[in-house]
Amino acid sequence: MEFSEYFPVWDKLTPVQQQMLADNATLRAVPKGTVVHNGSADCIGFLLVRTGQLRVYILSDEGREVTLYRLFPRDLCVMSASCILRGLQYDVTIEAEKDTEFWQIPAQRYKALMEESAPVANYTNEVMTTHFSDVMWLIEQILWKSFDKRLAAFLLEESALEGSPTLKTTHETIGHHLGSPREVVTRMLRYFQDEGLVKLSRGSVTLLDPDRLQALAED
Amino acid sequence: MEFSEYFPVWDKLTPVQQQMLADNATLRAVPKGTVVHNGSADCIGFLLVRTGQLRVYILSDEGREVTLYRLFPRDLCVMSASCILRGLQYDVTIEAEKDTEFWQIPAQRYKALMEESAPVANYTNEVMTTHFSDVMWLIEQILWKSFDKRLAAFLLEESALEGSPTLKTTHETIGHHLGSPREVVTRMLRYFQDEGLVKLSRGSVTLLDPDRLQALAED
């Protein structure tokens, strides 16, 4: 079964466990734009991405979306199984950003596997921890420090000064201007790139969507 | 060893695993105010609280502290072992809020145990998930929706109107005024109570620290 190539700890499972997964993982294909999961009440199970791309985001009262992270082929989605993650009551929306195929594993089946397999439990823990870390970073930078706004405003100003959508500058230089470490600049620029706002190349940043950058800067 | 009574999955360990923990868990006592852990570079290991209370918080650039959660006896602290939690690079500070005793387990030892014991891995995962969920809720309500400010302002206004620090009101009524579900009001009032801002009783809320509530409302 092809699933085995996408599930990182497959080789650490017993034949019985492998068979259980093979019997219970259902391959689904959804078109771009499909809302796969919506809120904590919804518990469709663990998802393992085969092709395409899923976007996990939260929605504010005012309808502003903040992308938390994206899931690519071989990524496991745990938020769609919130019902079995004791203590998790956090509402996110998961949307297919491209035509996407994923295996869906019923929450209770996966939970039973986690309970008997340390490799599966640790793998799941690692996925959770990584997402936790990404989300905390993003929320701190965006909601607390408004770094996204400040960076968007800076890029627009520089672009106006240079009369060009392409800025020849390093992340370190941007960091000096904004009083932020280079790593923070790099990470936020990549976030902007994933959101389709800019394009990054060696030694330059190109503004792809000045209107949305302007909206972000004024938000 | 008394440790066994505080570690929830002790009975699910093999004798060898129990011995390893008994040999490696060191009991430490720290006075109130001690900073136990500071930032992601610091990796003192997993902590299991025996007595007292630890507070986990983040610090903004402007020096504002936001309490993420508290750890009480029998609670496991995972953020202090961030070095072995692959993907976790998030900086928190952990401070003893009372005189506190805890067992400290070296990160690598605990990690080895997690890798061979599914019960330990799942227990750790559950702790992580619960904290993740708490933190997301809090950050969303505080940093995004400013619900803490709005609630503080409302309590101060009502108290001024009634000429009393004690408000006879239900969480549901407060929710109606603020356009928020009762559960959100209850959870934020409990957070306020833990922070020493109010005292909750059946059918009433007493303002304990109007100055700090005022500072919060104007923040």
Q: Where are the beta strands (DSSP E) in B31-182?
A: 35-38, 46-51, 54-59, 65-71, 76-77, 93-96, 100-105, 166-168
Q: Which of B116, B129, B135 lies nearest to residue A118, judging by beta carbons?
A: B116
**Mind listing the pLDDT tens digit for each residue in B24-54?**
999 999 999 999 988 766 788 899 999 999 9
Q: Which residue has the tokens 């393992």?
A: A48
- Neighbouring residues of A202: CB distance < 8 A, sequence distance ≥ 6: none
How many angstroms separate the CA of residue A141 from the nearest CA in chain B? Answer: 10
- Say yes or no to pLDDT of A106 above 70: yes
Length of chain B: 219
What span, in angstroms and rounded, lies between the C-alpha atoms of A154 and A169?
12
What span, in angstroms and rounded, lies between the C-alpha atoms of B147 and A144?
14
Sheet strands side by side (includes B198-201): B166-168, B204-207, B198-201
Query: In order of start, what are the domains of chain A with their CATH numbers?
Result: 3-130 (2.60.120.10), 144-218 (1.10.10.10)
Average pLDDT over residues B192-215: 94
**Beta carbons within 10 angstroms of residue A172's beta carbon:** 11
Amino acid B143: pLDDT: 66
Cβ atoms A158, A167 nearer than 8 A = yes
CA A47 to chain centre: 14
**Mind listing the pLDDT tens digit for each residue in A77-105?**
988 887 776 656 667 889 999 999 999 99
A133: which 2 tokens? 């870390």
Q: Which residue of B has its CA nearest to A68?
A: B136
Checking DSSP bridges between strand B26-30 and strand B100-105, what pairing results, if any? antiparallel
How many angstroms separate the CA of residue A158 from the nearest CA in chain B? Answer: 25
What span, in angstroms and rounded, lies between the C-alpha atoms of A169 and B206?
55
- Neighbouring residues of A181: CB distance < 8 A, sequence distance ≥ 6: A175
- Say yes or no to pLDDT of A178 above 80: yes
Average pLDDT over residues B199-204: 93
Cα separations in angstroms, A97 against A50, B1, B60, B157: 14, 53, 33, 46
Query: In this complex, is the C-beta atom of B61 within 8 Å of any C-beta atom belonging to chain A?
Result: yes
Angle among Cα B63, B68, B74 to the nearest 5 degrees reads 135
With cut-offs at 50, 70 and 90, classify the pLDDT of residue B144.
low
- Say yes or no to pLDDT of B15 above 70: yes
Amino acid B81: pLDDT: 80
Query: In this complex, is the C-beta atom of A178 within 8 Å of any C-beta atom belonging to chain B?
Result: no
Percentage of chain A beyond pLDDT 70 is: 93
What span, in angstroms and rounded, lies between the C-alpha atoms of A21 and A14?
11
Tell me the CB-side half-sphere exposure of residue A137, using CA atoms within 13 A: 20
**Residue A33, SS3 per DSSP:** coil
With cut-offs at 50, 70 and 90, classify the pLDDT of residue A40.
low
- Say yes or no to pLDDT of A180 above 80: yes
**Is A121 in Cβ contact with B125 (below 8 Å)?**
yes
- Neighbouring residues of B146: CB distance < 8 A, sequence distance ≥ 6: none
**Is A133 in Cβ contact with B115 (below 8 Å)?**
no
**Is B137 in Cβ contact with A132 (below 8 Å)?**
no
Average pLDDT over residues B152-169: 94
Residue from B135, B219, B141 nearest B185 by CA: B141
What span, in angstroms and rounded, lies between the C-alpha atoms of A25 and A23?
6
- Say yes or no to pLDDT of B165 above 70: yes
- Say yes or no to pLDDT of A158 above 80: yes
Cα separations in angstroms, B47 against A82, B27, B98, B180: 26, 10, 16, 36
Query: In this complex, is the C-beta atom of A218 within 8 Å of any C-beta atom belonging to chain B?
Result: no
What span, in angstroms and rounded, lies between the C-alpha atoms of B117 and A184?
36
Amino acid A102: pLDDT: 96
Amino acid B173: pLDDT: 92
**Mind listing the pLDDT tens digit for each residue in B81-107?**
877 766 566 678 899 999 999 999 999
